[in-house]
Amino acid sequence: MVASPVLMRFNFKMKNYKYLFLILAIVILYLFLAHADIYRQLRRAGLKSPDMQHTYLINENISTSTGMIYVSLGDSLTAGAGAENYNEAYPYLLAQQLGSNEKKVILKNFSYPGAKTSDLIKDLLVPAVAEKPDMITLLIGTNDVHGNIWDEEFRNNYEYILKKLTEETQAKIYIISIPYIGSDTLLLPPYNFYYKFKAKNFNRIIKELADNYKLKYIDLTTPTAELLRQDGPHYSADAFHPSASGYKIWAKIIYDNINQ
């Protein structure tokens, strides 16, 4: 018995649909596994924040009774995750450079791993302002990128932070871009492209807000993107957070921009 043309076309379409569903299922499975693998590698590395005391004195033996109060605000990148000790984190290295001319510097670190802009507002902003700092660095947004926060929410949060800092302190404020972090071995396609796009968009917002508030914007992304795209000595064990050598590069870039 010969199948009718209509039945043959139906069978052909069903076969094509089966292939389509199979391809779609494979793509969905890949996306799920690639995303899950990011956090599996981060958990396996088990990095801890080396910041155990939150206050650090640079040149504490200098006889002057006062010193410059430097407040660092941020997330795990500011908390020094990936470094063995906090004296390898970029805020401490920056404080050392600021105190290189026999100046006493009091570093007050307000940061913790996983913090988003909303967490900074809720947990860190008020105590940071209460320190009456002379200088502030702000590096926040990486967890907003990976937490899929909408642009409007990110803009509103970031502007609230800048408004609070500019209105309630007399500090010199330096706004640091969201850096390129996560090597290509950790962030597989399409996540490497997506997170890069998201960070680029957030950095555009940060730059606009910094300009609106007439604050110094420090581009940490462009000069380190190629360096941090591949695994190497500038990454810690999780291939996401910088190592001591990575933070050293960051500190130099920030310090050079401050002194421009």
DSSP string of 59-109?
A: STTSS-S--EEEEEEESHHHHTTTSSSGGGSHHHHHHHHHTTTT--EEEEE
Average pLDDT over residues 103-127: 97
Higher pLDDT, 115 or 23: 115
Pair of tokens at residue 138: 């702000």
**Rounded to two decimals, what is the model's pTM?**
0.87
Number of Cβ atoms within 10 Å of the Cβ of 183 = 18
What is the SS3 string spanning 39-69? HHHHHHHCCCCCCCCCEEEECCCCCCCCCEE
**Strand (E) positions, the chain?**
55-58, 68-74, 105-111, 135-139, 172-176, 216-218
Class of domain 46-258: alpha beta
Asked whether residue 60 carries a pLDDT value surpassing 70, the answer given is yes
Identity of residue 31: L
Q: Strand pairing partners for 105?
A: 58, 68
Higher pLDDT, 86 or 230: 86
DSSP symbol at 239: S
pLDDT at position 37 is 64
Average pLDDT over residues 68-84: 95
Asked whether residue 38 carries a pLDDT value surpassing 90, the answer given is no
Asked whether residue 29 carries a pLDDT value surpassing 80, the answer given is no
pLDDT at position 1 is 47
pLDDT at position 135 is 98
Break the chain into its structural domains and give their ranges.
Answer: 46-258
Cα-based distances in Å from 136 to 21, 91, 95, 148, 184? 53, 10, 11, 27, 32
Q: What is the dihedral of CA 182, 93, 154, 163, to 10 degrees?
A: -170
DSSP symbol at 114: T
52 touches 82 (CB < 8 A): no
